Chain A
């Protein structure tokens, strides 16, 4: 039985094709990396400009802080903490605190029936008194 094997070594043409393929792979990787870095830089640039725009807008506003807004202060004086300005008062907390998921239907029901809200408020105030 005879055994056939390929000759050892490679020709110049084979070497250049092999090296060429590695070069093509390196170029594709480089182009892809460059594209990724460009997108990253563009995204970073956009974020920086957006941040600068928001700060500029904010600086140009007459009222920059919600707790200094006269309308908000008046709402506290008249309704959320009658006669005084008490941030995060029980009523403010109860009405302004965000509800999620299964808490929402009960909250809607509560708002539909103001007396329930009053009872709830009393229940919250009592321990403090």
Chain B
């Protein structure tokens, strides 16, 4: 790792705010969803019982939907940059995936290819989170607002898609949390999203070399 004396602003204030809002909403949604799907009173009692947990789940769902929607409307440039980054898969990204970035102990990684602002794993996670959110939101609202109007077969389809997408998302977010906050190689990025948005330049130069090269050229 180089010894660059500098800081990189990786995530702006609005991005971090949206991430916090989405994180809190997702945690509440996950807990309440698990509570009333498996009838676990220990969890639902935290929210004032099963009936209240259900109400909390619905309104947390509104926050879960409106939060990113507002962010996109107010920060379309940042959203576009993010989408552009995760939509770009180059030879380096496939090289990263081949050795899983050196994060897995049983896959030998002699050379990890240079990465963009997000590495190939984060890009894939980004796509899965986006489509997971779309599915969860699209199936969630009919289950709440039109459950008496829509046919049972459609409602049942919504319940199944909602449930299985939520399970996959919870597992994905669990893995995301492990890599972002616990894994010694990657937790150095934790504060850039959860606190002040900055990360040490030498860490960025090492983990996101392609992106950092662009930053160095920025006047």
Which chain A residues have a beta carbon within 8 Å of chain B's beta carbons? 1-11, 13-15, 17-22, 25, 28-29, 32, 35-36, 39-40, 42-43
Contact = CB atoms under 8 A, between A and B. Distances in A.
B110 interface: no
A4 B218 contact: yes
18 contacts: A2-B6, A2-B7, A3-B9, A4-B218, A5-B8, A5-B9, A6-B9, A6-B215, A14-B80, A14-B84, A18-B81, A25-B134, A29-B138, A32-B138, A36-B150, A39-B150, A40-B154, A42-B151
Interface residues of B, number: 30
Nearest to A24: B134
B7 A1 contact: yes
A5 B153 contact: no
Given A21-B79, A21-B130, 18 more contacts: A1-B7, A2-B201, A3-B9, A4-B201, A5-B8, A5-B9, A5-B218, A6-B81, A8-B77, A13-B84, A14-B81, A18-B76, A18-B81, A18-B84, A28-B134, A39-B153, A39-B154, A40-B151
Nearest to B8: A4
A17 B9 contact: no
A10 B80 contact: yes
A19 B81 CA distance: 11
A4 B138 contact: no
B211 to A, nearest CB: 9
A36 B84 contact: no
A20 B79 CA distance: 11
Given A10-B81, A19-B80, A3 B6 contact: yes
Contacts of B80: 10, 14-15, 17-19
A20 B87 CA distance: 11
B74 to A, nearest CB: 13
Nearest to A31: B138
B109 interface: no
The 9 nearest A-B residue pairs measured at CB: A18-B80, A43-B151, A2-B6, A14-B84, A4-B215, A14-B80, A39-B154, A4-B8, A17-B84
Contacts of A25: 134
Contacts of A7: 218
A2 B83 contact: no
A3 B7 CA distance: 5
Contacts of B8: 3-5
B219 to A, nearest CB: 8
Interface string B138-167: 100010000001110110000000000000
B3 interface: no
Nearest to A5: B9
B72 interface: yes
Contact of A43 (B83, B87, B138, B153): B153
A86 B23 CA distance: 69
A40 B149 contact: yes
B26 interface: no
Interface in B1-44: 4-9
Interface string B47-67: 000000000000000000000
Contacts of A42: 151
A20 B14 CA distance: 22
